[in-house]
């Protein structure tokens, strides 16, 4: 106790500094909170509407606090809402999306890791050129490739199928996954590869035993990026599939295009949330790895 005593004496300058510090902090947090609210309000409106009764929405308008809570709209949106004659809700489209996103994410990530490994650690004449050409894909909007894809899917007999979308997303995603992995692998010292070569390890053994164990940070980033990107993708889904084959993003549009009946804002809200849930969960559970992976080097 005796050691603390001198510090307890009042120091006006220190107190002023502490006060200044408090107010500057307060300002920062106030502004951040304001922005967070602004960004969260639309999400909140949709969540509220998914829990309100259609009649209540009609009475009090779209933006309002719910007077009653019920999950009927969620159940309808998932399994029984009628879209153009079939009354199965969104679940089939939800599973379509899963069946498209999971394989496309895994395959494009594996290919990206291998491309990155080759383009950073096994360079050959022209490998930089190939890398730069692949980078072009990052900047190429999807609609440019609509016609070629239509032609190719037709030739392969993959129109209106989930496999077709998997193929598209694997190919369209390779630019990104390659870029991520290659840039990460560049920071792994070449000496490791040389040492492994002297140790008798070949191309695959070095990849499996040395490169892959170092890769989790970038693989998590790549998987999150690909999963959210492919899940949320809309254009290819709506152009190359229809009805039962559509991924959920494309199917959501069909909800609004119902036409004849009054708009069921409660069901639409619930359906939108169902469609947004997987990427949201991925972000909630993987977000911190995403940020960490993007800023982390390969070693240590």
Binding site for another protein (CB under 8 A): 189, 191-192, 194-201, 205, 209-210, 213-214, 299-300
**CB 164, min distance to another protein, A:** 38
**CB 205, min distance to another protein, A:** 6
- 90 vs 188 by CB, closer to another protein: 188
**CB 202, min distance to another protein, A:** 8
**CB 206, min distance to another protein, A:** 10
**CB 187, min distance to another protein, A:** 12
Distance CA 256, CA 114 (A): 42
Are the C-beta atoms of 251 and 93 separated by less than 8 Å?
A: yes
Distance CA 259, CA 244 (A): 19
Are the C-beta atoms of 198 and 88 separated by less than 8 Å?
A: no
How far is C-alpha 117 from the geometric centre of its chain's CA atoms?
A: 24
Closest CA to 247 of 268, 280, 274, 282: 274
Q: What are phi and psi of 177, to 5 degrees?
A: -65, -40
- 192 vs 254 by CB, closer to another protein: 192
- 193 vs 252 by CB, closer to another protein: 193
Are the C-beta atoms of 253 and 219 separated by less than 8 Å?
A: no
């Amino acid at each position: 106790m005796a050691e603390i005593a001198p510090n307890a004496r009042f120091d006006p300058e220190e107190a002023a500094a502490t006060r200044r510090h408090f107010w500057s902090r307060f300002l920062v947090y106030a502004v951040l909170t304001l922005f967070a609210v602004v960004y969260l309000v639309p999400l909140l409106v949709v969540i509220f509407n998914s829990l309100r009764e259609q009649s209540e929405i009609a009475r009090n308008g779209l933006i309002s606090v719910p007077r009653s809570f019920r999950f009927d709209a969620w159940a309808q949106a998932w399994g029984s809402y009628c879209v153009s004659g079939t009354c199965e809700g969104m679940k089939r489209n939800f599973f379509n999306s899963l069946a498209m996103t999971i394989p496309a994410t895994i395959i494009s990530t594996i290919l990206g890791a291998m491309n990155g490994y080759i383009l950073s650690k096994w360079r050959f004449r022209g490998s930089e050129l190939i890398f730069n050409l692949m980078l072009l894909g990052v900047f190429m909007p999807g609609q440019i490739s609509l016609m070629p894809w239509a032609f190719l899917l037709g030739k392969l007999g993959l129109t209106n199928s989930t496999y077709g979308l998997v193929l598209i997303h694997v190919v369209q995603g390779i630019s990104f996954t390659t870029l991520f992995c290659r840039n990460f692998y560049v920071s792994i010292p070449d000496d490791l590869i040389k040492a492994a070569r002297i140790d008798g390890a070949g191309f695959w053994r070095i990849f499996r035993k040395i490169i892959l164990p170092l890769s989790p940070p970038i693989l998590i980033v790549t998987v999150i990026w690909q999963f959210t990107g492919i899940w949320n993708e809309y254009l290819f889904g709506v152009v190359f599939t229809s009805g039962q084959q559509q991924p959920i993003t494309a199917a959501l549009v069909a909800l609004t295009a119902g036409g004849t009946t009054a708009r069921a804002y409660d069901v639409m809200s619930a359906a939108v949330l169902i469609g947004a849930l997987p990427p949201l969960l991925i972000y909630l559970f993987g977000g911190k790895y995403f940020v960490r992976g993007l800023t982390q080097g390969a070693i240590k």
